[in-house]
Amino acid sequence: MPSAAGGTFVEAAVLTHPGRQRTTNQDAVDQRINGNYAVFVVADGMGGHRTGELASKMAVKNIVEVVREEEPSPTLLLDAFEEANDAIYMAGQRPESRGMGTTATALALNLPYAIIAHVGDSRAYLLRDGQLNQLTQDHSWVAERMRQGLLTPSEARNHRWRNVITNALGSFPEARVDLIGLKVQPGDRFLLCSDGLSGVLEDSVLQEILESLPPTEAVEHLVRLANEWGGPDNITAVVVSVLDVPKEKSPPAWALPLESGEPVVLALGQEGSTVETQVLEPPGKRGFWHRWRDIIFLVVYVSLLLYVLLFNKR
């Protein structure tokens, strides 16, 4: 049975199902709606039988608990992801829990704004004005090859490594979190799902269902269709329908911690752009190397320049 929730501003439903070929469900999902604040999370666990289930449940529980406490902001969402990452990583240090990790895609509403935080290959879509857009990028081996032009979408869909993800929550001490912010409009519909849905149903099918059915019926229909197409994996769907948005407050200046420790202002819902994306690189080694690489390049460049100038003078 789908779990439905609603208020003045949004109506939503969530549903998860093991599918037809797996005995356990390693997907997890949860939601909280409170006035013009809301949070929805989908997670798809990996690892052994128990560990995958535990990882996705921990992610969903941690994120919802942190975000529901305060006014949703990118920083709060990042804190929630960090807390979930730490908790799952710690739990995964037991010998019997090796390989534990999970995807996590969270949609937080602080109307009229939406913030999406994302790790892995679960997805967030937005249906607006008759167009379905995938808001998140898959952190997967095939998606990276597709972005490089090395695989076509149909090759990626059927590739034997299509399930290999390149970034997960709880697998390492650090994870890369993509943050997306946008201004919400009445009539917007969000879909969050695991790859057990998006890997089976074409975007055109997702769009048709989102357009024609209210959230509770939509999640039921999506899961039923994925099962009719074989249900090869666990299936999770969240549909959020925006009924109305409160009057606009002054634009929020939400600061994001970056690798350098410098806060960056993420301007959500700027005029002329519907989606503002801020991608965070993992802190620590990578940022350190990037800074050193720039310094080395600069030193080499200046040395060459000096050499050429001095050489020419002789």
Residue ranges in contact with Ca ion by CB under 5 A = 44, 195-196, 233
d(CA 49, CA 246): 44
Residues 6+ apart with CB under 8 A from 274: 128, 182, 183
**Which are the contacts of 64, defined by CB distance < 8 A and separation ≥ 6?**
30, 31, 32, 39, 41
- From the CB of 234, what's the least distance to Ca ion, in Å? 5
Closest distance of CB 165 from Ca ion, Å: 9
Nearest to 78 by CA among 210, 236, 233, 263: 263
Residue 154 near residue 71, CB atoms below 8 Å: no
| Residue with smaller CB distance to Ca ion, 68 or 123 | 123
Nearer to Ca ion, 21 or 274 (CB): 21
Can you tell me the distance from the alpha carbon of 245 to that of 256, in angstroms, rounded to the nearest whole number? 25
Other Cβ atoms less than 10 A from the Cβ of 77: the count is 26
**Least distance CB 304 / Ca ion (angstroms):** 51
- How near is the Cβ of 150 to Ca ion at its closest, in Å? 23
Which residue number, 138 or 188, has a Cβ lying nearer to Ca ion? 138
Distance from C-alpha of 238 to C-alpha of 12, rounded to nearest angstrom: 7
Q: Amino acid letter at 126? A: L
Nearer to Ca ion, 53 or 233 (CB): 233
Give least dist CB 195 to Ca ion, A. 5
Kindly tell me which of 195 and 220 has the beta carbon lying closer to Ca ion.
195
Identify whether the C-beta of residue 40 lies closer than 8 Å to the C-beta of residue 12: yes
* CA–CA distance, 188 with 186 (Å, rounded to integer): 6
Q: Which is nearer to Ca ion, 138 or 220 (CB)?
A: 138
Letter string b/e over residues 247-275, b meaning 16 or more CB atoms within 10 A of that residue's CB = eeeeebebebbebeeeeeebebbeeeeeb
Least distance CB 138 / Ca ion (angstroms): 12
Cα distance between residue 123 and residue 110, in whole Å: 20
Q: Quote the least distance from Cβ 204 to Ca ion, whole Å.
A: 21
Length of the chain measured in residues: 314
Kindly tell me which of 59 and 184 has the beta carbon lying closer to Ca ion. 59
Q: Which two tokens stand for residue 8?
A: 């003045």
Nearest one of 224, 253, 238, 313 to 44, comparing CA atoms: 238
Query: Which one, 26 or 216, has the nearer CB to Ca ion?
Result: 26
Q: How far is the CB of 113 from Ca ion (least distance, A)?
A: 29
Three-class DSSP category at 300: helix
